[in-house]
Amino acid sequence: MNNKKLLSFVLSAAMAATSIFPATVYAAVSGDINGDGAITSADLDILQGYVLGKHDITQEQFKVADINADQVVDVYDVTALRKKILATDRTLSFKSVTDRMNDGITDALKKLDLQAGGTVVKSTAELKTALSLYFSETVVNNYLKKYDDNFFKESVLLVKPAYFDPAKFTKNGTLTKISCGCDNSYAGLYTTGPTVDQGLNIRKEHTAGSAALGLIPPGAKFNITYANGTKDGNFGHVTYNGVSGYVNMGYVTKLSSTAPTYVAVPDIKVDSVKYSKGTVTVSATEYNASSNVSFAAAVLAQAVVPKKDYYASKAQWTVTTTSTTTTTTTTTTCAYPLAKARMDQKNIKTLKEAFVDCSSSDTVTYVEWEKDASKISLTKAADYGFNTRNGKPEAKAQGNCYVLAAMFCEMARLLGYDAHLINGRCPLRAGGYGPHGWVEIIENGTAYVYDPDYTLESKGDNGFRLTYGHTVWPIQKISEIK
């Protein structure tokens, strides 16, 4: 027997030159036949091919292929290497697939815990058993066509069905607050309250003593878009039979809500498939898909693993929930970050405070900037002014009328006002007209002028809330700057 072993070794060394594997220096680690630093099914493929006479191996490969160290590389080494692979922790290669569906869902799936239900299937019969409890026969048959007998000759399939209750994924939408202090969280379809027998007054203002513009008959239905509460004394915005005004929220009954909501779109993605001590663990993450994906109550997550890589007695799923994507999805990015930072820094809460910050001589330094309105945009002008402060609360901003107006325009929009940066012209001391910029805010159908530069130059409060055609400041509107 000793001579036979020696002869086998000598013949192997002599035939190395004809090997299909390139000559290289291999790490002398038992079982690592391809020298890649890991003991995997790739090494087993080389060993089985050599034992079956399909190809030769080099002398260095022979040394690490003799797993049981009996100086012969044979079927016993194949068995030993398989055991070594089973004892080696490793990450398996896989292909991740997630299918979304609304139809063909059984009640059993609705009761399935998100953490449970993942399983491994190695044949069409096992796949049918794994899915039949949770999906209709039609759905199951479609998967049996997708993963047929030919598929299972080469691969193992890990499946994870999951159900998401649509009601649990409806979230509050972005709250919109308007200049009067009302917001859209109260929006909905309403009717008159039980104590209203003569009709409900539509008031001109948010007060019970303001003039009545119209009457809503008892039992009539109407929409409220904004309100400042639900108690007696709080008022909601309403339009009924062409009359727009305000109704007392203490005398209405809500029938249905139209307050803004969004539906988070749940999904599962397979992150990794790992082997350790006879167990394959699939790590998957629940996350919210992008908004352009429609909601689906059920998903079937799948991990396709090459059969040659799968050595395990069982498989288990670990599903984790991440809020990262959810937070990104539900957080609205501020359109004017520099304006918001300034408002937070100076605790600006009102339109007047924003105007003073953009027009007071102790916070603004007037310098020349861009005169040609065709080269100016709202963001460009505002950013120029905010950046000149370098983040310092008391630093003076620099810019011309367009810059001052643009900064105020962004602040006004963040406060909920319908503000617009206007390009126009104003009278000059030397005679004639020159280019000028200001802010226009439309309130209740009336356009008002807010001109920080005029206030700065006149050293007064004259530019706050003017109207077009003002005799003291006869400016002329040309166009809006976007």
Give the Cα separation of 272 and 384 in Å (integer): 47
Same domain, 157 and 19: no
- What letter does residue 26 receive in the DSSP assignment? P
Same domain, 45 and 190: no
* Strand partners for 466: 449
Which residue range(s) make up the domain with 293?
Answer: 95-167+264-328
The pLDDT of residue 395 is: 67
Same domain, 58 and 6: yes
Same domain, 390 and 422: yes
Mean pLDDT, each 10-residue run in order, the chain (482 residues): 30 29 48 80 84 88 88 85 80 89 90 81 93 94 95 92 83 76 88 92 91 94 92 92 93 87 79 86 83 80 86 79 40 70 87 87 65 82 82 72 90 84 86 87 82 79 73 79 85
> Among residues 221, 255, 289, which one ends one of the domains?
255
Report which secondary-structure segment, H or E, holds 286.
Answer: strand 279-288
User: Closest by alpha carbon to 270, among 434, 406, 157, 366?
Assistant: 157
Same domain, 162 and 247: no
Same domain, 366 and 451: yes
Same domain, 471 and 345: yes
Same domain, 270 and 375: no
Are residues 425 and 409 in contact, defined by beta-carbon separation less than 8 angstroms?
A: no
Close Cβ partners of 339 (under 8 Å, ≥ 6 residues apart): 382, 386, 407, 410, 411, 414
Same domain, 130 and 25: no
Mode of pairing for the β-strands spanning 298-306 and 266-276: unpaired
Same domain, 229 and 148: no
Calculate the CA dihedral of residues 137, 140, 146, 150 and round it to 10 degrees.
Answer: -100
C-alpha dist (Å) from residue 144 to 149, 281, 297, 306:
9, 24, 22, 18
Give how many domains the chain has, as a whole number. 4
- Residue 374, CB-side half-sphere exposure with 13 Å CA sphere: 0
**Burial of 419: CB neighbours in 10 Å, binned 0-12, 13-18, 19+:** buried
**What is this structure's pTM?**
0.45
The pLDDT of residue 214 is: 93
Q: What is the CATH number of the domain that holds 221?
A: 2.30.30.40
Same domain, 217 and 145: no
| Amino acid at site 42 | A
Q: What is the CATH number of the domain that holds 435?
A: 3.10.620
Question: Could you identify the residue written with the tokens 């194949």?
Answer: 78
- State the Cα angle at 402 between 396 and 407, rounded to 5°: 55
DSSP 337-400: HHHHHHHHHHT--SHHHHHHHHH-TTTEEE------GGG--HHHHHHHHHHTTTT-TTPPEEE-
Residue 230 tokens read as 């639900």
User: Closest by alpha carbon to 358, among 392, 391, 402, 417?
Assistant: 402
C-alpha dist (Å) from residue 393 to 304, 343, 346, 455, 465:
58, 10, 7, 21, 25
Close Cβ partners of 276 (under 8 Å, ≥ 6 residues apart): 89
The pLDDT of residue 172 is: 66
> Among residues 60, 88, 116, which one ends one of the domains?
88
Q: What is the CATH number of the domain that holds 68?
A: 1.10.1330.10
Question: What is the tens place of the pLDDT at every residue in 105-152?
Answer: 999 998 888 777 788 899 999 999 999 999 999 999 999 999 999 999
> Among residues 39, 70, 88, which one ends one of the domains?
88
Same domain, 452 and 393: yes
The pLDDT of residue 92 is: 85
